[in-house]
């Protein structure tokens, strides 16, 4: 994947992402990916911002893949997105400065990398953190270790009918028994999509 999208400028890659996200549809739901976002997440982000909080996306996904569309979909501008990245290099092309994408990983924003990414990009420890897989454990630990009131929550994908059911053996979205045990030990709130979310996607209301 790194090699496939290397050798182009950051602007060229941004256009590829913007064109793709404008037309691509989810294979299960047959709807644009921009509609397959969690309604409770959107409502929570709006609530937090309305009450003076600054919201960020911290994901293992590619930072340059997410930034072109997170503001429109989640209300989170590109400078408040933290993710994995490949290296870039400043060059002059046809007399104009560009950033070239190189076939080399720069940073992986997953697991123990998430607190590192938060510190490097944001420079503040979160007051609240929300995750949904084993890759978020260290981010929640880092958040909880701060002083004062903190909120740590995990969303459990356990609704195969309305969305997906990811468990301990899932290759993506792994939610291991060890993570569940850590949540209980540390007092983190575990949200069941099946039992706690009346609506998962906004299009369910239609």
Does residue 189 form part of some domain? yes
Report yes or no: 119 and 144 within 8 Å, Cβ to Cβ. Answer: no
Does residue 184 form part of some domain? yes
Rounded to the nearest 10°, the torsion over CA 75, 77, 82, 83 is 80
Does residue 201 form part of some domain? no
The 10s digit of each residue's pLDDT in 33-53 is 999 999 999 999 999 999 999
Interior angle at CA 181, CA 116 and CA 155, nearest 5: 65
pLDDT at 2: 63
The 10s digit of each residue's pLDDT in 156-196 is 999 999 999 998 888 888 999 999 999 999 999 999 999 99
Q: The domain containing residue 85 runs over which residues?
A: 8-196
Does residue 108 form part of some domain? yes
Q: What is the number of domains present in the chain?
A: 1
Averaged pLDDT score across all residues of the chain: 96
Does residue 143 form part of some domain? yes
The 10s digit of each residue's pLDDT in 74-89 is 999 999 999 999 999 9
Residue 1 has pLDDT above 80, yes or no: no
pLDDT at 3: 62
Rounded to whole angstroms, the Cα distance separating 58 from 83 reads 6
Q: What CATH number is associated with residue 16?
A: 3.40.50.1000
Rounded to whole angstroms, the Cα distance separating 192 from 175 reads 12
Does residue 206 form part of some domain? no
The 10s digit of each residue's pLDDT in 126-147 is 999 999 999 999 999 999 999 9
Does residue 45 form part of some domain? yes
pTM for this prediction? 0.94
Does residue 202 form part of some domain? no
């Amino acid at each position: 994947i790194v090699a496939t999208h290397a050798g182009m400028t950051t602007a060229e890659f941004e256009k590829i992402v913007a064109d793709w996200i404008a037309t691509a549809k989810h294979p299960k739901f047959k709807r644009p990916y921009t509609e397959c976002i969690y309604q409770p997440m959107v409502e929570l982000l709006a609530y937090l911002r309305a009450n003076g909080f600054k919201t960020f996306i911290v994901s293992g996904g590619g930072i340059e893949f997410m930034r072109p569309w997170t503001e429109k979909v989640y209300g989170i501008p590109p400078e408040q997105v933290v993710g994995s990245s490949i290296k870039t290099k400043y060059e002059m092309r046809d007399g104009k400065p560009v950033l070239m994408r190189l076939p080399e990983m720069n940073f992986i924003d997953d697991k123990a990398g998430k607190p590192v990414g938060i510190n490097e990009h944001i420079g503040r420890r979160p007051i609240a953190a929300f995750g949904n897989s084993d890759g978020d454990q260290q981010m929640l630990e880092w958040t909880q270790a701060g002083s004062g009131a903190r909120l740590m929550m995990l969303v459990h994908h356990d609704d195969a009918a309305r969305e997906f059911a990811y468990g301990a053996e899932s290759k993506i979205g792994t939610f291991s028994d060890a993570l569940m045990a850590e949540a209980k030990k540390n007092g983190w709130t575990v949200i069941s999509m099946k039992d706690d979310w009346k609506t998962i996607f906004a299009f369910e209301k239609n």
